[in-house]
């Protein structure tokens, strides 16, 4: 056909990948463009920009049921490019069409892609409405034959609608396929939720279908099923010609790992499927581009690379003799380092601990949905942890006179900072395992640092009979274990790992694992958040006490603060035990004055126990020399220097601020408004399909006006995208906009 340079009122851009996609996608594009008197542009991407021999558009005289374009104008655009997705997006961004039509064969994407490396970027970044067509041809039929025949005789269309933002677009496209089409809006209620879910379904359908209730062409229906996908598939097999489904906004993990509801329906349904996505707003588009840009920036692994990583992790997660020997030795070294209060010895234990692959295997098992790998990893981690605790207990019993050291006590109060260290360690370990050019030794040390010393501390705490130390260290270990496995799983997901498509058991394992891990992370984060806030408050209070004691004792003269501690705090009275060094006797009244001044500084009652350490301060002694000297002169003795008293600071005197006098605001007198005489018009020229009453020119649909229905013209008009619109009021008093060409004044 000839090329058209004029900008159409409605433009459907159809991206064609090969000869098999030409007929079904062209049929769908023409069917959607015909009702709006639009045009279709076929876009084909080739390496050299040459038009393929098979890219032939049938002429109008040849149009029939098999060639459904009829008199729809079809343009052909061939673009050179190696990256088909980027080449398709270029004309979409330069001159956005009203609808971008794509074809999908039904094979799930690999790695991080949902539909494939070409379709996913186009769907994410397209600045227009998008429709993805899946023909669902029979095994012995030519590609696209079912869809071409269906679009030529479409009568019944199923549109699943659960209140999402894309359902109205799917309903509108379904009604535009033919003036005789009957649309069923479907809501699937889960069996387990009872009759209340059915009532909720009808309520949501009535809200979604409000603009189309007058035409009688859309009927709501609620079915009960064990799942959403099962309910849609069962209803679709009940004599429907076509299914139009809006893209859902499921969670990121669901979309990347398993696809979403539309994808699953398209793969399993026996009728053609069209998935539609409404163009997002500017802010949402920018956020989506930023997120996926970050997502695409990270490297991904090939299928062979993923298999190699999986084998290595599974081999390392299998508990063998070497694993237990190295775990026991690492726990012994860590226990000795804790008892000796030696960070260097503790680091040595981290270098030999073999826990990395077992713990990382937990995250990989969840992401892969591999129950067997999960069992191996849990078994190895649990047995390694019990062995480390037992070794720590034995080392503690071997030293009966041991006492808690600073290194032990530092591992009994987990905070959000410990959680952050574990998250980063897990991410680093998983990334290092997946990249051959990155050594996994150092991330393994970081992971061991978060796991082995706390386990040894648990054993030492049990040996010392301190439940506080044992419970605190165990809490730190569990915190680090959850964080490391969760962060490792996220990195595996980011690098392209996912369960095998079509295996429902692995999907259930994944869902259960993710929900459990997220719940544990949230619970741990909440507890650590409370503990961290309390620790920060306590540290701030101790700094205040330290400053108050240091400053107030300094004013006593010849008295120096040695150390102090809070011996009790019941929420009201603070019990302080203070040790000072004094070169003179400290009177009782001075102690009372100190208590009062500290209480005023803290703004709390203070109970004070003051221990005075008598101190003798000697002047420097110069030893005599053995060299004879002339008559020695007198040696001056330094006199004590008086301590200046602080001078009080004068407080500024407040100055009166003048109050501005309010100025009266003039009031305008409204002028009378002239009311024009109403003009009545009727809806005509729609071929029986009726006319959409829209809230704004070319905007959202408010309702459908029947052929011959009377409206009142309101004398406001606009032109949008080449269409002239006029504001009207219908017989029920609703105000909206309609296309001027479809109304006739009376």
- Which alpha helices (DSSP H) does 440-503 contain, by range? 441-464, 467-494
Question: Mind listing the pLDDT tens digit for each residue in 535-556?
Answer: 888 889 999 999 999 999 999 8
Confidence of residue 436 (pLDDT cuts 50, 70, 90): confident
Tell me which DSSP letter residue 299 carries.
-
Question: Mind listing the pLDDT tens digit for each residue in 462-507?
Answer: 998 888 999 999 999 999 999 999 998 888 887 878 776 556 678 7
**Three-state SS at 592:** helix
* pLDDT over 70 at 61, yes or no: no
Return the higher-pLDDT residue of 115 and 691: 691
- What ranges do the domains of the chain cover? 1-152, 154-273, 303-498, 538-614, 679-745
pLDDT at position 306 is 82
Confidence of residue 281 (pLDDT cuts 50, 70, 90): low
- The CATH number assigned to the domain with range 303-498 reads 1.20.1080
pLDDT at position 737 is 92
pLDDT at position 655 is 45
Top mean-pLDDT range of 11-20, 101-110, 616-625: 11-20
Mean pLDDT taken over the chain:
80
CATH class for the domain made up of 679-745: mainly beta
pTM assigned to the model: 0.57
Give the mean model confidence (pLDDT) for residues 192-200. Answer: 83
pLDDT at position 259 is 47
Return the higher-pLDDT residue of 59 and 224: 224
Confidence of residue 8 (pLDDT cuts 50, 70, 90): low
CB 545 within 8 A of CB 577: no
Residue 20: exposed, middle, or buried by beta-carbon count in 10 A (0-12, 13-18, 19+)? middle
Sign of CA dihedral 21, 260, 129, 97: negative
Confidence of residue 260 (pLDDT cuts 50, 70, 90): low
Which one, of 153, 173, 314, lies nearest residue 240 by Cα? 153
Residue 53: exposed, middle, or buried by beta-carbon count in 10 A (0-12, 13-18, 19+)? exposed
Fold match between domain 538-614 and domain 679-745: no
* pLDDT over 80 at 381, yes or no: yes
Give the mean model confidence (pLDDT) for residues 578-596. Answer: 92
pLDDT at position 610 is 93
Which one, of 68, 64, 75, 66, lies nearest residue 12 by Cα? 75
- The CATH number assigned to the domain with range 538-614 reads 3.30.300.20
Distance CA 521, CA 215 (A): 51
pLDDT at position 298 is 64
**Architecture of the domain spanning 154-273:** 3-Layer(aba) Sandwich (3.40)
Give the mean model confidence (pLDDT) for residues 644-669. Answer: 47
Question: Mind listing the pLDDT tens digit for each residue in 589-639?
Answer: 999 999 999 999 988 899 999 999 998 878 888 887 665 555 555 555 454
Distance CA 168, CA 558 (A): 84
Question: Mind listing the pLDDT tens digit for each residue in 16-31?
Answer: 888 888 888 888 888 8
pLDDT at position 289 is 67
* pLDDT over 90 at 391, yes or no: yes
Which one, of 493, 140, 486, 126, lies nearest residue 277 by Cα? 126
Confidence of residue 652 (pLDDT cuts 50, 70, 90): very low
Of 104-118, 240-254, 282-296, the range with the lowest mean pLDDT is 104-118
**Which tokens belong to 114?**
């949902």
CATH superfamily of 1-152: HUPs (3.40.50.620)
Question: pLDDT exceeding 70 applies to what percent of the chain?
Answer: 80
CB 459 within 8 A of CB 391: yes
- Which alpha helices (DSSP H) does 555-661 contain, by range? 588-602
Q: Provide the terminal-to-terminal Cα distance of the chain, rounded to the nearest Å.
A: 41
Give the mean model confidence (pLDDT) for residues 355-381. Answer: 88
């Amino acid at each position: 056909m000839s090329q058209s340079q004029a900008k159409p009122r409605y433009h459907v851009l159809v991206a064609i990948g090969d000869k098999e996609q030409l007929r079904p996608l062209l049929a769908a594009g023409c069917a959607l463009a015909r009702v709006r008197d639009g045009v279709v542009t076929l876009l084909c991407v080739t390496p050299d920009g040459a038009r393929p021999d098979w890219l032939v558009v049938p002429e109008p005289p040849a149009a029939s049921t098999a060639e459904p374009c009829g008199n729809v104008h079809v343009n052909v655009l061939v673009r050179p490019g190696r990256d088909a997705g980027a080449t398709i997006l270029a004309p979409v961004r330069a001159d956005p069409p009203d609808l971008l039509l794509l074809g999908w064969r039904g094979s799930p994407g690999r790695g991080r892609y949902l539909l494939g490396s070409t379709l996913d970027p186009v769907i994410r970044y397209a600045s227009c409405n998008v429709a993805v067509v899946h023909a669902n041809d029979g095994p012995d039929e030519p590609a696209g034959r079912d869809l071409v025949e269906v679009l030529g005789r479409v009568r019944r269309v199923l549109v699943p609608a659960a209140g999402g933002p894309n359902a109205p677009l799917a309903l509108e496209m379904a009604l535009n396929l033919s003036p005789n089409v009957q649309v069923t809006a479907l809501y699937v209620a889960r069996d387990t939720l009872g009759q209340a879910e059915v009532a909720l379904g009808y309520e949501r359908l009535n809200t979604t279908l409000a603009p189309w209730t007058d035409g009688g062409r859309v009927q709501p229906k609620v079915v009960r099923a064990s799942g959403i996908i099962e309910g849609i598939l069962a209803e679709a097999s009940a004599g429907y010609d076509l299914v139009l489904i809006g893209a859902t906004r499921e969670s990121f993990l669901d979309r990347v790992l398993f696809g979403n509801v539309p994808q699953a329906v398209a793969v399993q349904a026996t009728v053609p499927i069209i998935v539609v996505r409404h163009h997002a707003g500017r802010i949402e588009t920018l956020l989506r581009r930023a997120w996926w840009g970050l997502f695409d920036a990270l490297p991904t692994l090939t299928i062979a690379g993923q298999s190699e990583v999986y084998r290595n992790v599974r081999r390392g997660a299998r508990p063998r003799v070497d694993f237990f020997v190295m775990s026991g030795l690492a726990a012994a070294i860590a226990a000795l380092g804790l008892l000796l209060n030696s960070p260097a010895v503790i680091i040595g234990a981290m270098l030999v601990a073999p826990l990395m692959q077992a713990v990382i295997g937990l995250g990989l098992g969840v992401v892969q949905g591999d129950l067997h790998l999960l069992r191996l990893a849990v078994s190895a981690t649990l047995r390694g942890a019990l062995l480390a605790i037992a070794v720590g207990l034995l080392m503690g019993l071997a030293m009966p006179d041991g006492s808690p050291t600073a290194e032990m006590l530092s591992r009994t109060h987990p905070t959000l900072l410990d959680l952050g260290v574990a998250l980063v360690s897990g991410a680093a370990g998983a990334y290092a395992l997946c990249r051959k050019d990155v050594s996994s030794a150092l991330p393994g040390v970081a992971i061991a640092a978060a796991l082995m010393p706390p386990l040894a501390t648990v054993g030492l705490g049990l040996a010392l009979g301190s439940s506080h130390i044992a419970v605190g260290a165990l809490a730190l270990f569990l915190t680090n274990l959850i964080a490391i496995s969760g962060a490792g799983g996220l990195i595996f997901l980011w690098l392209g790992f996912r369960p095998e498509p079509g295996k429902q058991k692995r999907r259930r394992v994944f869902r259960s694992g993710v929900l459990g891990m997220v719940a544990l992370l949230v619970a741990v984060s909440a507890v650590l958040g409370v503990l961290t806030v309390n620790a920060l408050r306590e540290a701030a209070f101790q700094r205040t006490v330290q400053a108050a004691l240091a400053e107030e004792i300094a004013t006593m003269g010849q008295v120096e603060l040695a150390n102090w501690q809070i011996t009790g705090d019941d929420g009201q009275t603070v019990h302080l035990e203070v040790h000072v060094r004094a070169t003179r006797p400290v009177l009782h009244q001075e102690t009372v004055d100190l208590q009062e001044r500290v209480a005023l500084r803290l703004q709390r009652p203070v109970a004070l126990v003051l221990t005075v350490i008598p101190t003798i301060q000697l002047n420097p002694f110069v030893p005599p020399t053995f060299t004879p000297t002339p008559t020695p002169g007198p040696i001056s003795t330094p006199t004590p220097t008086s301590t200046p008293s602080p001078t009080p600071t004068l407080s500024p005197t407040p100055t009166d601020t003048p109050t501005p006098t309010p100025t009266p605001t003039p009031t305008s007198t409204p002028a009378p408004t002239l009311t024009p005489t109403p003009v009545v018009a009727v809806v005509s020229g729609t071929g029986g399909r009726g006319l959409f009453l829209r809230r704004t020119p070319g905007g959202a649909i408010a309702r459908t006006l029947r052929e011959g229905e009377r409206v009142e013209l309101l004398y406001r008009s606009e032109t949008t995208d080449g269409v002239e619109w006029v504001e009207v009021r219908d017989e029920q008093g609703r105000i909206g906009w309609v296309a001027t060409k479809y109304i006739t004044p009376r």
